[in-house]
Amino acid sequence: MLQMTGVKKTYRTELVETYALRDMTVSVSDGEFVAVTGSSGSGKTTFLNIAGLLESFEFGTYRLDGEDVSRFSDDERSAYRNQKIGFIFQSFNLIPDLNLFENVDVPLRYRRLSTSDRKQRIEHALETVGLASRMKHVPAQLSGGQQQRVAIARALAGDPKILLADEPTGNLDSTMAHQVLDLIEEIHANGTTIVMVTHDQELARRAERNIHLLDGRVAADEIADKRSAAA
């Protein structure tokens, strides 16, 4: 489903060149749950941004769901991203003045779905994350864990083929973090492909597979040790 080969990404200023990805070669199959780890500056977030069509790259190839997305125009990238990719960010990225229903609705409006279709998707997504009874609340009325669940509902409402999560538990305490990971595992069990960036090795072991990045390359790619995660 996701196939990067020899992808290189460089950030340039007038004085400095920073190599974020040097030779990124990785594949993720349909239905996998993959955790991406690595120290700060290893290229984790850059990889996820490229995977989600939020950033471009200089060299290499990237095929997503069989299509060479590197050849897409900006409009094609935006349309593909909106229809097939879901995002979960560490900072939730909710709009404070909108209630939960309206927050989940925002990306759906760009897809020109009917009002009834959007309503059904939103209510189902909020029910999935256990917040259907609070859809008229605004984000400030929720805990951090509940806000992250709203962000997950927003991603799910679009029925994505792949869900990309960037440190989804980074702003949560350990109890809330495990609840959010339980929900992500449940979503994966229903067939969604998930790629999650995390610095937490314990959380990474809850995935099926761990990819460790070092200096913009894959340093290790192995099946997760579930026994350690359960201990």
- Pair of tokens at residue 132: 């259907």
Tell me whether residue 110 is in a domain. Answer: yes
Interval 13-26 mean pLDDT:
90
Tell me whether residue 70 is in a domain. Answer: yes
CA gap 155, 110 in Å, rounded: 14
Tell me whether residue 228 is in a domain. Answer: no
Mean pLDDT rounded to a whole number for the chain: 91
The parent domain of residue 54 ranges over 2-222
Model confidence at 113, pLDDT cuts 50, 70, 90, reads confident
Of 26-30, 75-79, 165-169, highest mean pLDDT: 26-30
DSSP string for residues in 112-170:
T--HHHHHHHHHHHHHHTT-GGGTTS-GGGS-HHHHHHHHHHHHHHT--SEEEEESTTT
The CATH number of whichever domain residue 138 belongs to comes to 3.40.50.300
Tell me whether residue 171 is in a domain. Answer: yes
| pLDDT surpasses 70 at 231 | no
Tell me whether residue 27 is in a domain. Answer: yes
What percent of the chain is predicted at pLDDT more than 70?
97
| pLDDT surpasses 70 at 230 | no
| pLDDT surpasses 70 at 171 | yes
- Pair of tokens at residue 98: 């909108």
Tell me whether residue 227 is in a domain. Answer: no
Interval 41-66 mean pLDDT:
93
Tell me whether residue 145 is in a domain. Answer: yes
Tell me whether residue 229 is in a domain. Answer: no
Domain count of the fold of the chain: 1
Q: Distance of alpha carbon 15 from its chain centroid, rounded?
A: 32
Question: Which pLDDT belongs to residue 228?
Answer: 52
The predicted model scores a pTM of 0.89
